[in-house]
Amino acid sequence: MDYDSRNNIFDRAIFPESIRESTRNFKDVMGYIYLIQKKFSPDTSDFNRPLNLIKVGYSSIGTRDGEDKGLARLSEFKTSLINFKVLRLYVFDRDDFAGENSKKNDSHARKANLVEKRLHEYIEYELNPPMIRISFNDSPIKSEWFSVPERKLENFLKNIDNYVFYHARYTPVAGTAFSAKTAKLLDFEPEAKVTGFEIDESSGNVQQRKSLRVTSNKYALTEKQRKDREYTDRKKKEREVYFKENAKKLIKTVDFWKKVFLGKEFTDKKMYDGDQGKFPKKIIDDVYETNAKGRKQPLVHYSPVLGKTRSSKISKEDLDDASGSLSVNEMIDLYFPDLKKKYKESFEYFQMINGKSDIFLEE
């Protein structure tokens, strides 16, 4: 179905009536994964034959200010892609472990984010047959676009539906399939969740069960989800080893990060609880080294952007209150997300050492 922000069929797919009660009147709907389709040539310098391309991405529902933004992410694509078709929308609820400030740091959409990243890997390496992942104009960075021949599209979508609902670490609370003129909620029977541990009566120790037991615990996983999680955990450990072996290269130097950040501006009306929002516009004016989280690393300092009049009148208390420092990964994550891909491995390294989130498998 061609995307049109004026067509409320897409809004109904994000907030279907079937999940109103379970998501507390949609308050717990936090993120979604989308599959969109567009035919074009990824590199016009090499060939002009358009490919049938599918983009697999995710978005949060809320903004950093706590406002709902709905399908703003898809609306943004109308500017660059002009027109495109929506094939799937998978809706995810709140991550109970995201923390109180989840609206601020976007971790409320963590379920959708992690499933999307794992889905990229599944499509590229495990799907049978695997699909070609597109890079644009000889860029070494892999995009979120996959080349899927039209004759294989139907089977591709069936495999994605099956993976998302039965194998992914987190199960969506709803999913919608779109055809040329209609939309239909996907109907998947949930599999039993199991627990694999028990208490050894003789020793009192926790041990793995010889056979899995069905449980109603909402945090438990199905057997397929357990296997997929074992895989991602193994990949995560391999990534941690790589980061530790290449720490010096990934952390880079203060001078390097100065060239990246100095002079950049960003706006945030409420950087923390209690922020009065007097000086929402900030400028990065320094990068310096400090000991944080038990190791040396650069911190990025920001100050309020002031005109000549306000500069002479601002009190020291207000200046201190409107200034501060963030780690490299926090600054990128909150205010310059486009840099995540450009400095992918360094960003992930800082995420790891600062304990911010799961290590990404790929991008």
pLDDT for residue 363 is more than 50:
no
User: CA angle at residue 306 from 305 to 307, to 5 degrees?
Assistant: 135
Regarding whether 125 and 68 lie in a shared domain, the answer is: yes
**For 64-78, how does the pLDDT look when each residue is reduced to its tens digit (9 = 90+)?**
555 566 787 788 876
300: which 2 tokens?
């990025």
Over residues 119-134, mean pLDDT: 83
Q: Judge contact between 228 and 169, C-beta under 8 A.
A: yes
For the entire predicted model, the pTM comes to 0.59
Same domain, 201 and 259: no
What is the pLDDT confidence band of residue 87, given thresholds at 50, 70 and 90? very high
Segments forming the whole domain that contains residue 228:
193-245
Do 286 and 160 lie in one domain? The reply is: no
Question: What mean pLDDT do residues 111-119 have?
Answer: 90
Check pLDDT > 60 for residue 259: yes
* pLDDT reported for residue 252: 92
Higher pLDDT, 55 or 73: 55
Q: What are phi and psi of 76, to 5 degrees?
A: -60, -35
Task: Please tell me whether residues 29 and 170 are part of one structural domain.
Answer: yes
Q: Are residues 81 and 145 in the same domain?
A: yes
So what's the pLDDT on residue 44? 46
> Total domain count for the chain?
3
Asked whether residue 255 is assigned to any structural domain, the reply reads yes
Is residue 4 domain-resident? no
Residue 126 lies in a domain: yes
Asked if 308 and 319 sit in the same domain, the reply is yes
Residues 21 and 121 in one domain: yes
- 45 and 161 share a domain? yes
Residue 3 resides in a domain? no
